Structure 1
Amino acid sequence: MKQITVLLAMTAALSALAGCKEAKAPEVVQTVDWYKAHQTERTAVLEKCKNNPGELAATPNCVNAHTAANQLVWSSRGSGITIKAKTAEELRNANK
């Protein structure tokens, strides 16, 4: 009977300890605009995300840093290609 009591006490103690994990401080999520304004932090986050994409690629900070980097690249290129829709008159004249 004493063995069962000791076994149950050890099982309870181990179960209680199994649930104890070192609590991580929640990571502060920065916005796209913040990453656009903070190049050093953006570069550091992008490097961290690149080194562990399986775990980090879909995290808010990786997504926001990547989006900020893309927006900065496209804005430096003139926001990409601007396409002006042709009017019906321009389309008719193009086929003549």
Structure 2
Amino acid sequence: MKKLFIALCVAAFLAGCGENTPVQTVDWYKTHEAERSTMIAKCKANPGELNASPNCINAVTAANHLTVEKRGYTKHAPINALEGGK
């Protein structure tokens, strides 16, 4: 029983020793093209582990925003049908 407890403690300690990379914002990825491209490449190389990470989501979102901005789309106010289309 004591060996099992020690093994579980070691496993829990090692699980907490993951990579501590800072989470960058979408705006940061929009202005840092090289880092955005590198992060997207990492995410595509290991989608099972990284695809849901905050940095992957922010890097892909930044790339999507830049693509939409290049196309010249504008934001429109939402139409609320309950208020008579105002």
Give yes or no for TM over 0.5. yes
Number of positions where the alignment pairs a residue of Structure 1 with one of Structure 2: 74
**Cα distance, 1:30 vs structure 2:** 0.5
TM-score, normalising length from structure 1? 0.63
2:14 equivalent among 7, 14, 21: 21
What percentage of aligned pairs have identical amino acids? 45
**CA shift in 2, pair 1:13/1:66, >3 Å:** closer
Counterpart residue number, 2:35: 41
- Is there any run of 5+ residues in structure 1 with no aligned partner, and where? 1-7, 83-96
2:59 equivalent among 39, 53, 65: 65
Alpha-carbon separation, structure 1, partners of 2:55 and 2:7: 36
**CA shift in 2, pair 1:21/1:40, >3 Å:** same
Query: Which of 1 and 2 has greater Rg?
Result: 1
- Is there any run of 5+ residues in structure 2 with no aligned partner, and where? 77-86
TM-score, normalising length from structure 2? 0.70
RMSD: 2.6
Q: How does 1:66-81 map to 2 (within 5 A)?
A: 66-79=60-73
**CA shift in 2, pair 1:76/1:15, >3 Å:** closer
**CA shift in 2, pair 1:17/1:60, >3 Å:** closer
